[in-house]
């Protein structure tokens, strides 16, 4: 199954994506994670992407599209994959549609007020990419690998505001785009992690 997961920054996409991939045994392809890994490793792509990401702006389409083409051609994508954070605008969606067929576009619907609260408390692991909240990890350590959790540069308040604006302008219209293609499944993203996951599994049946 070729799946896209969509939703505003802070809608719980990353958490749900990880769970779906475990359940269905498909790779979790997060362009944000791939870009952050490139920054951490100091690659040319990372160097080019960093300033855009720190400012909450989209990385240029040419860079991200190239990255995704390479990733989707890897053998583990043959039996399906889940895309998280891509496509982010219509141009990316058009290119994607030319490379693969999308079976389901999941949309996690979450109120903006909930999102602002979630993002203020979000903590990330710089070592393995695990994301959690300050409430769920009061000791400040990563549950998966033990590293010290951080606030991502792009989770800082002013940057979050900008990311939400970019989302509303460019990514939100993709909900209608995939609805028109007949593959959209909207899920209420405001329940517990387990409740949202159960609703997603129902939608994927
Ligand atoms: P995310 O972890 O998905 O919220 O992505 C973090 C940041 O990475 C975004 O704010 C963008 O700067 C960049 N990014 C991730 N995916 C894309 C994409 N598909 N197109 C452009 N920029 C992206």
The sign one gets for the Cα dihedral 57, 62, 67, 72 is positive
88-108 residue pLDDT tens: 999 999 999 999 999 999 999
Predicted TM-score of the model (pTM): 0.87
| Closest residue to atom 2 of ligand 1, CA basis | 32
At 58, the pLDDT band (50, 70, 90 cuts) reads very high
Lowest average pLDDT, out of 27-36, 111-120, 131-140, 192-201, goes to 111-120
**Pairing status of strand 104-109 against strand 2-6:** parallel
Closest ligand 1 atom, CA of 9?
4
Mean pLDDT over each residue of the chain, to the nearest integer: 93
Using CA atoms, how far residue 16 sits from 43, 52, 63, 67, 197, in Å, is 29, 26, 26, 23, 6
CB 58 within 8 A of CB 171: no
Q: Please work out whether the CB of residue 64 comes within 6 Å of at least one atom of ligand 1.
A: yes
List the single range of 39-48, 67-76, 121-130, 176-185 with lowest mean pLDDT.
Answer: 121-130
- Of the candidates 13, 8, 16, 4, the residue with the CA atom closest to the CA atom of residue 201: 16
Output the CA 124–ligand 1 centroid distance in Å: 15
Residues taking part in catalysis: 13, 88, 122, 152, 163
Task: Please state, for a pLDDT cut of 70, what percent of the chain lies above it.
Answer: 100
Mutate to test the pocket of ligand 1, among 9, 50, 58 (most ligand atoms within 8 A of CB): 58
31 lines ligand 1 (CB under 6 A): yes
Helix pair 90-99, 173-180: axis angle to 10 deg: 30
pLDDT for the residue 159: 86
Question: What is the band of 129 on the pLDDT scale with cuts at 50, 70, 90?
Answer: confident
Decide whether any atom of ligand 1 lies within 6 Å of the 159 Cβ.
no
Nearest residue (by CA) to ligand 1, atom 1, is 32
Contacts of 48 (CB under 8 A, 6+ apart): 59, 63
Cα 53 to ligand 1 centre (Å): 7
């Amino acid at each position: 199954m070729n799946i896209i997961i969509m939703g505003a920054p802070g809608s719980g996409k990353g958490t749900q994506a990880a769970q779906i991939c475990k359940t269905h045994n498909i790779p979790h392809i997060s362009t944000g994670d791939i870009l952050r890994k490139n920054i951490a490793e100091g690659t040319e792509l990372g160097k080019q992407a960093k300033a855009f990401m720190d400012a909450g702006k989209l990385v240029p389409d040419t860079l991200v599209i190239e990255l995704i083409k390479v990733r989707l051609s890897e053998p583990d994508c043959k039996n399906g994959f889940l895309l998280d954070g891509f496509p982010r605008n219509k141009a990316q969606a058009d290119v994607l549609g030319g490379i693969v067929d999308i079976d389901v576009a999941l949309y996690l619907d979450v109120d903006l007020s909930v999102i602002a609260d979630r993002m203020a408390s979000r903590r990330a692991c710089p070592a393995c990419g695990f994301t959690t909240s300050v409430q769920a990890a009061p000791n400040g350590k990563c549950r998966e690998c033990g590293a010290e959790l951080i606030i991502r540069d792009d989770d800082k308040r002013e940057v979050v505001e900008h990311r939400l604006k970019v989302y509303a302008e460019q990514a939100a219209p993709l909900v209608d785009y995939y609805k028109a293609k007949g593959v959209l499944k909207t899920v209420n993203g405001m329940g517990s992690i387990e409740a949202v996951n159960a609703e997603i599994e129902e939608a994927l049946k």
